[in-house]
Structure 1
Amino acid sequence: MATAQFNTKDRILNAAETLFATHGFMATSLREVTSKAQVNIAAVNYHFGSKENLINEVFRRRMDDMSANRLARLEQALAQGKNNLEGILDAFISPALALAGSTGTAFIRILARAYVEENVGLREYVSKRYGHVLREFAHALSECLPELSKQELYWRLDFVAGALTYAMADFGLIRRPPGRSEQAHRQEASRHLIAFAIAGLRAP
């Protein structure tokens, strides 16, 4: 019974993720989700209670692991020294690129939609659940870059996050060459993005 419930919940989440990525949050109805997942509306209500909770859960199942991975790697980086700027940025960037590689493009498109759609509830949920992760990194970066004011640091970190989202979506001019694995391509992207971020953060 537990396995059946898990499979039903997973099917709903997979269907919602695909539809939200394609049509957006507002334009996707619960009826479309249930049709794609081949379940009835009662199953959605049972597992999630509302469309808003379903949207939040789509984010949670991807971002919880990424956030935990980021914080674990940040702790490792700080153990090597508080001025380990490259290690701190690697802890922020590499888990996100790994997530992009493991989930394909659907969730990355959802992330992009979260930036542009006026979904106040989702923004509040993400801020409340994951805001502490950004604050941990901001604090670690401030130790490396004491010459930056808090406002200036957050401006620059915001731009780093934007560049990371762009890299996750793989919209850029650089395409994975034939014969190179997805993992190797992500590692190469991470190396270049870290170097770019270091230059931006350390700029006068």
Structure 2
Amino acid sequence: MSQANDLLAQIPKTEKGLPPVHLWNPDFCGDIDMRIARDGTWYYLGTPIGRKPMVKLFSSIIRRDGDDYFLVTPVEKVGIKVDDAPFVAVLLEVEGQGERQVLRFTSNVDEFIEASAEHPLRVEIDPDTEEPSPYLLVRSNLEALVHRNVFYQLVELAVPREIDGQQWLGVWSKGVFFRIGLV
């Protein structure tokens, strides 16, 4: 784990908030054997990283440029593989109802995200299987795959609404209606 530890040692310490990876433009140093599986498990050299504090630290320095994912410090940028999305929304809390409803998600790395215009929900439909894959924007261009159990909670909260002559089922959060499927 020495290559990964070397990378972690380069992260500036901040009092709160996430490191400003969007401001850092170090040289690309190549890919490392790190992967985030679809279920949110992080792997290093093919072995799951079992220490959640380490996963949380790595997740704070992830950046997406185009279709590629990187861990970025002020002096180093290394490529990693992400099977689907770098985060998973694993819990949902609902406050209020109707258009005033607020949907609060918790990610697998304990980040809290409220679905809103700044953090939209979207659903991709697999063209072959027609299986839905719901996503929530966590930050910048990084998304969380919404866990199946959480998606079922969203479906239970869904209400119909006509948009452009089509009937949609969707959910409200912070005054925004998010489509989750056609009626």
TM-score (structure 2 length as normaliser): 0.35
**RCO (CA 8 Å, sep 6+): is it higher in 1 or 2?**
1
Greater share of residues in strand: 2
TM-score when normalising by structure 1: 0.33
User: Which has the larger share of helix?
Assistant: 1
